[in-house]
Structure 1
Amino acid sequence: MGWINREKSFVAEVKCQTPHFEGHWDCAEILLDGPGQERRKSVEWLTVTNYAEGERHLFQFDCFYDEKGYAGYDIRSYTYGQGRRFNSIGQRFGFSSGGYIALSPLKPTPEMLWQPYIFADGQPQPILEVLKNGRLDNVRIETRHGRTLKPYKRYDAHRSWYCYVNDESGPAMELTLHIQQLGKEHNDDH
């Protein structure tokens, strides 16, 4: 499929800035666990939540090149801790049969690569040109077929909520990346 460009690969916390869906990426549902008590339940889906307890989930973005040049990013769960109940080693984001973004054990293929863009003056620019450690605003992530990721169907718990991510229904997901490791060999906590 190509090769990974480590200099353009990174680990980041991902925040959603889309109105009514302000939160962060996770792989968890938020459930009521008694009156006024909430807890995270790990799932094999990409979710957005405003759940505030514990560390934020991190995601690994591996930049792939092929014989034509830049091909896109393979996105994986980077954080295994935080009470996760399943083994996510080698799990990548792909589409479920229902159109949601799910972790799957598939090897990366060109169809599974994602296209992150920075929007400046309303125009998309490949994220490769502006990568840096720290905060990147106005990011959208598209499929290889040009469909933007979207938050879908918000579920309220007590003080917190979560929603799933798809590419068909909902508003375009406006993201902020908090890049913590740029251009390093990634040693996750698996």
Structure 2
Amino acid sequence: MTTYLQHLSFLASIACTSPGYRGRVEASELKPVRPGGNPFQPGEVLPNQTGWVTATDFPLSPQPFWFGCFRHADGSLGYEIRRWARHEAYHNYRLDLSQNSYVGLYAPGSEPLAHWWMGDVQFNGFTVEPGLHSRMHLLANRKKPLRAHTRRQVRDHWYCFLNAENGDVLEFTLDIQSVGEERR
């Protein structure tokens, strides 16, 4: 059984700050757009919302995520993380791992999935307060740091999938906008 802790829950955007992977965390893959369908003509790049969580250097507005804090029966804390983008696809969907450890967005269930944890690079906790929190790790199942996997270049921009098993371990900055968020 878990207990919701509103005073430790918050809304925040997430930026990836690791060298070679500086960008925003989003739920979009980048797709080239070719004018007139001509593959040899220069074109634009547009984000295509998917159910996979990515890091990208494409200039997107900061995507808010809800971090709901829960205390487990053993006294440990965990977070359920949900995409918080009203009027957009995957609003209120929660982050979870696929069978092959990719981070995806899934419809919320009746029980919280509070197995995410975050802390600084020394794996200490952090104080939940508004503002920037740098050099953070996000861990799945309380022990697996998120990694960059399958980096893809699309014209002048890139994106990579977030994974908990393969790739370079990533550091993040959380930009906490508000604390004390109600349970979603």
> What's the TM-score bracket when you normalise by the shorter of the two chains?
0.7 to 0.9
Q: Does 1:30 align with 2:30?
A: yes
Counterpart CA distance in 2 for 1:52 and 1:141 is 22
* Structure 2 partner of 1:95: 97
Q: Cα distance 1:164–1:108, how it changes in 2: closer, same or farther (>3 A)?
A: farther
1:107 aligned to which of 109, 126, 137: 109
What is the CA deviation profile of residues 128-184 of structure 1, one whole-angstrom value per residue up to 9, with x for unaligned ones?
Answer: xx2210100010011225111101111111221111011111111100000001113
* Structure 2 partner of 1:141: 138
* Structure 2 partner of 1:117: 119
1:72 aligned to which of 71, 74, 78: 78
Let me know the Cα RMSD of the aligned residues.
Answer: 2.0
Counterpart CA distance in 2 for 1:68 and 1:148 is 22
After superposition, where does 1:1-190 map in structure 2 within 5 Å? 1-34=1-34, 35-53=42-60, 55-81=61-87, 84=88, 86=89, 88-107=90-109, 113-119=115-121, 123-127=122-126, 130-144=127-141, 146-185=143-182
CA contact (8 A) 2:136 2:172 kept: yes
Q: Cα distance 1:138–1:108, how it changes in 2: closer, same or farther (>3 A)?
A: farther
Q: C-alpha displacement at 1:108, in angstroms? A: 7.1
Other structure's SS at 2:129 match: coil
- Larger gyration radius, structure 1 or structure 2: 2
Q: C-alpha displacement at 1:111, in angstroms? A: 6.6
Corresponding residue pairs, total: 177
Counterpart CA distance in 1 for 2:110 and 2:170 is 23
Q: Cα distance 1:56–1:157, how it changes in 2: closer, same or farther (>3 A)?
A: same
* Aligned sequence identity (%): 25
Counterpart CA distance in 2 for 1:125 and 1:109 is 27
Counterpart CA distance in 2 for 1:65 and 1:186 is 13
What is the CA deviation profile of residues 89-144 of structure 1, one whole-angstrom value per residue up to 9, with x for unaligned ones?
Answer: 5421111122201111252768751110123xxx32113xx221010001001122
Structure 2: gaps of 5 or more residues:
35-41
